[in-house]
Amino acid sequence: MSTHNACVGRAREAFLRVFGTRATHAASAPGRVNLIGEHTDYTGGYVLPVAINLRCAAVGRITYGSGPFRAHAADLNQTIEFDPRGTPDQLPRGHWGRYVAGVIAGFIGRGWDVPTIEVSVATDVPMGGGLSSSAALEVAVAQFVSGICGQEIDPREEALLCQRAEQAWAGVPCGVMDQMAAIMSREGHALLIDCRTMETQHVPMPSESDAALVVFNTNVKHALAAGEYARRRAACETATRALGVESLRDVTLETIDAASSALSDHERRCARHVVTENQRTVTAADALRSGDLAEFGRLMSQSHASLRDDMRVSCQELDTLVELASACEGVYGARMTGAGFGGCAIALIEPSKSASATETIAAGYRQRCGRDCSIIPARASAGACCVAV
Ligand code: GLA
């Protein structure tokens, strides 16, 4: 709750200053890391994310007037007016307001009579760092809208609404993992999601005395990220069609080999990553349940290799972090997390070795990449919430 309180506090202060009155409702939603199951959600595969102790807050009130919708970003000290019944191009591409407006537009599209509101947002999730800052913002706003309207929405419908907002208003063809994690996570647990059926299972995380989960932010974001993400998704879709199946879940490595003349090299590699990653994710969830951290760590490392060599979404900075981590005593496993091309890597470490391993990794990264990484000790945290204040 402390991270909820911190960002809600900032958002409330800014709300009072900018709008001259008190907010009546406060919502917050967490960022996430994905333990394993990368680039599989948009093909209906398995993912195993965990919500972390960094959150985004949305606070505000109904204005009961005829004025425009208004939103303020406390971290940027920026206020906008917008019309959620209008189109995305009322705001520049990449603008944070598109996520806010897109989510409200989603509720209106469902037939909700959303009153005119003023909202202030504040986030602890680093923007564009691969920890799902955008999903945390979308979900915080969705919880706020649902709270202020006094209406419930099914959590899966809410995740899909937020995903659609990101696709239609921000132009990112993302899967549904990040939004599901921000909504449905439970403290102390990872969330196994079957992205085909949207079924979920809460898998207990190791206690803090058994393992430390450490996030290393490369502090780089390569410009090609958005275009390359879309290219991976497109390759998976054409491979699925060429293989004549509904989902890459329905094929094996043998099927891919047998059909290799129907696939380009890029499609074959992407399909192979998805097939092997789905297997690894299911096995990893079992290893986590049975407390087999050595096996879990091995699967993390294999996942990274597959993302680097088959899916080809890693980069030099991520590979360096993973290589440095894998060479440290006490590290069970390490891998890139999220879409790739920069952003963050994670490592699962024996608690007594965590401080020295972290130091070695940070020093090696500085030496080899010529910049500092940021280190975030992660705790498996609860999903979104909204309260009247
Ligand atoms: C981003 C997307 C997710 C997922 C990951 C890769 O975080 O938003 O839907 O596809 O990349 O696993």
Q: Are residues 368 and 230 in the same domain?
A: yes
- The tens digit of pLDDT for each residue in 196-210 reads 999 999 999 999 999
To test the pocket of ligand 1, the residue of 38, 178, 248, 274 to mutate (highest count of ligand atoms within 8 Å of its CB) is: 178
Residue 62 CA to ligand 1 centre (angstroms) = 33
Same-domain status, 200 and 225: no
Strand partners, 121: 58, 73
Give yes or no for residue 1 having a pLDDT over 80: no
Q: Whose CA is nearest to atom 3 of ligand 1?
A: 175
Atom number of ligand 1 nearest to Cα 229: 11
Same domain, 134 and 181: yes
Q: Which domain holds residue 254?
A: 212-378
- pLDDT one-digit tens code per residue, 338-352: 999 999 999 999 999
Task: For residues 80 and 150, state if they share a domain.
Answer: yes
- Indicate if the pLDDT at residue 189 is higher than 80: yes
- 229 and 194, same structural domain? no
Same domain assignment for residues 167 and 248: no
Quote the CA–CA distance of 298 and 326 in Å, as a whole number.
10
E strands, 14-77, where?
A: 25-36, 46-62, 69-73
Q: What is the CATH number of the domain that holds 110?
A: 3.30.230.10
Helix (H) or strand (E) run with residue 316 in it:
helix 316-326
Same domain, 169 and 282: no
* Domain total of the chain: 2
Ligand 1, residue 38: give the atom nearest the CA. Answer: 12
pLDDT at 57 over 90: yes
pLDDT digits (tens, 9 = 90+) for 151-187: 999 999 999 999 999 999 999 999 999 999 999 999 9
CA of 214 to the centre of ligand 1 (A): 20
Q: How far is the CA of 175 from the centre of ligand 1 (A)?
A: 6
Q: What is the DSSP code (8-state) at residue 261?
A: G
Distance, CA of 39 to CA of 309 (rounded, Å) = 14
Which protein residue's CA is at the shortest distance from atom 8 of ligand 1? 174
- Cβ atoms 373, 362 nearer than 8 A: yes
Give the whole-angstrom CA distance, residue 65 versus residue 42: 41
- Residue 112 to residue 130: CA distance in whole angstroms: 32
Instruction: Please identify which of the residues 83, 89, 124, 178 carries the catalytic annotation.
Output: 178
| Res 221 pLDDT > 90 | no
Do 104 and 44 fall within a single domain? yes
pLDDT of residue 126: 92
Residues 166 and 222 in one domain: no
Place of tokens 């360096």: 320
Domain CATH for 246: 3.30.70.890
131/179 same-domain check: yes
Q: Do both 101 and 137 map to the same domain?
A: yes
Note if 178 is an active site residue: yes
Structure tokens at 13: 């202060």
Are residue 194 and residue 293 in the same domain, yes or no? no
Work out which ligand 1 atom sits closest to the CA atom of 132: 7
Task: Please choose, from the candidates 153, 66, 144, the residue with its C-alpha nearest in 3D space to the C-alpha of residue 100.
Answer: 144
| The pairing of beta strand 117-123 with beta strand 69-73 | parallel
